[in-house]
Structure 1
Amino acid sequence: MNSCYLGPEISPEQFIPEHLFLFLIKGTMNGYDGNKHYTLKAGEYCLVRKNRLARYNKVKDSDGFEKVAILFDEDFLKSYLKNCSFNSQGFNSSETFLSLHPTEKVSHFIQSLKPHYKGEGRIDPKMVDVKRQELLNILLQLQPELANVFFDFGKPGKLNLEEYMNRHYKFNVSIERFALLTGRSLSAFKRDFKAIFNETPSRWLIKKRLNEAHFLIHNNKKKPTDIYFDLGFEDLSHFSFAFKKQFGRTPTELGR
């Protein structure tokens, strides 16, 4: 099996709703959060922080690709917190993909999951919370400052909207998500957006993505099939239709 999941289903959006622990067994994984590119190689692991936008893709090696993904959702963390205490410690990193200190304890933990596999890359449901608690104990013993990450249940604070949108417009998430991530209600987001960009969010996003696509195809000679998904379009036909409506030519015609 190429994946093992512990916890609730992982969102198909490019939005991380809960903290996600990733351990790469085989292959390579490349991640991007709008600010920085990250690379995870076999034997490495990281924590992807909640309430962030992130995109990642897998690269197979000669042995294929295999990962373990463990979700630390808020309900589980609150339940864990009832039975333990922690001392607040400073935590300065703002990165989405948090590097974790290397320790054999994590590798041994990953090995300990094997006897509990029930097929389709999942383990016995009865063991999910037991194993998640075991891993959380290891991580907090290793890096106590992570408690400030795991047990922060507040909503995102209000951010600079213009800066945030110009950095994250390529991510394919809803307007409601953008509102949440910039610390606003939906109505406040739309109002602030109109004041800054003099356009609705949906129209601005389409124009911004299409202008970037035009630049990449015309100036950088990129193929439409190589860029449409990374620019936030769900399928090639929708991208081509919107592109022609905006520029009078299809992406393929522009690239000839």
Structure 2
Amino acid sequence: MIHSHQHYDLLGKIVLERVVFTPPLRLKEQMESEACLLYSIKGNSSLYHVNKKYGIESHNGVLMKCGNYFNYWQENADNSENEAVAIHLYPELIKYVYNDKIPDFLTAKSDQKDSKIQVIKSNELLKLYIEGLMIYFNNPDIVAEDLIILKVKELLNILYKIDSNNIRNLLHDIFNPSNINFKNIIGNNIFEDISIEEIAHLCNLSISSFKRKFKESFNDTPASYFKNKKLEKAAQLLTVSSDRILDISIDCGFSSVDSFSKSFKRKYGLSPTEFRQNNGLN
């Protein structure tokens, strides 16, 4: 549940944004011509993008290039609120901020064909920047266009000065979308806690187009294919691992041990416990 949403705009678009919310919260983001620095002041999340899942913790930032994302903010043990800040970057905004004289570090060619998004963990410079930004969210009357421009420039300089070649490569390539390999996205998300609709979003496809492409690629429906792959992994784990059946069901992406047991017995004719006993593990 979102409790508070503040934002400051420039050129008709959100640039500085602050959200206070109570997790769990599942969000789909589509950034067609936009990059973004997302910073968690408080809260942990799993951020899915194309072929990889990124873990974000409190006081972590993540620099995201254009593309489709799915973000799952996890529930806190004490049911407390989370808080996050985002700074949105657009090509026209960058040109406006620098009076059409874009600095070299944003135009130089990257040495990578496809740079990846970057998680920035507990960086003191970035933390101080966010703390300074909070002054303006707490005092909206003092916010004006020149201040927004200043904060965008400050962020870009901080990101470039952070000692990471990967971040520099991403800044060079920030508005170039990632290459999408359909089969890789499927393979990397089979055992994740993510729905078919959310995977379709990562693929930048409608659910009907996704199902059609899935059928062409795997000659099966998504629901059937995913369930079979999860059960095959579970069967393998039952023969080589002494982990609890509950833990195996979670590792394989089942929502409950009961649904796992019923599906497993339908496929293999044995309960998970019986299957393990027949394969030598007790």
TMscore range, shorter length: 0.5 to 0.7
Equivalences, count: 234
Q: Distance in 1 between matches of 2:54 and 2:198?
A: 23
Structure whose alpha-carbon radius of gyration is higher: 2
User: TM-score, normalized by length of structure 2?
Assistant: 0.56
Q: Are the structure 2 counterparts of residues 247 and 148 from structure 1 closer, same or farther at C-alpha, using a change threshold of 3 Å? A: same
Q: Distance in 2 between matches of 1:241 and 1:132?
A: 56
Give the structure with the higher percent strand: 2
Counterparts of 1:1-256 in structure 2, within 5 Å, are: 6-7=18-19, 12-13=25-26, 19=36, 21-22=38-39, 45-47=61-63, 51-52=68-69, 69-72=84-87, 83-85=96-98, 86=102, 87-91=106-110, 92=112, 94-96=115-117, 98-100=118-120, 104-112=124-132, 124=138, 126=140, 136-142=152-158, 143=160, 146=171, 148-149=173-174, 159-255=180-276, 256=282
Q: Are the structure 2 counterparts of residues 77 and 200 from structure 1 closer, same or farther at C-alpha, using a change threshold of 3 Å? A: same
User: TM-score, normalized by length of structure 1?
Assistant: 0.61
How far residue 45 of structure 1 moved from its aligned partner, in angstroms, is: 4.2
Q: Distance in 2 between matches of 1:224 and 1:20?
A: 40
Structure 1, unpaired ranges of 5+ = 61-65, 117-122
- Local SS of the residue matching 2:25: coil
Task: List per-residue Cα deviations over 1:106-128 (Å, max 9, x = no partner).
Answer: 23234446778xxxxxx75959x
Root-mean-square deviation (CA), in Å? 4.9
* Aligned amino acid, residue 243 of structure 1: F
Task: List per-residue Cα deviations over 1:120-157 (Å, max 9, x = no partner).
Answer: xxx75959x999987654331232753753x56x7x76
How far residue 99 of structure 1 moved from its aligned partner, in angstroms, is: 4.2
Q: Percent identity?
A: 22
Structure 2, unpaired ranges of 5+ = 6-17, 161-167, 277-281
Q: Distance in 2 between matches of 1:192 and 1:146?
A: 33
- Local SS of the residue matching 2:97: coil
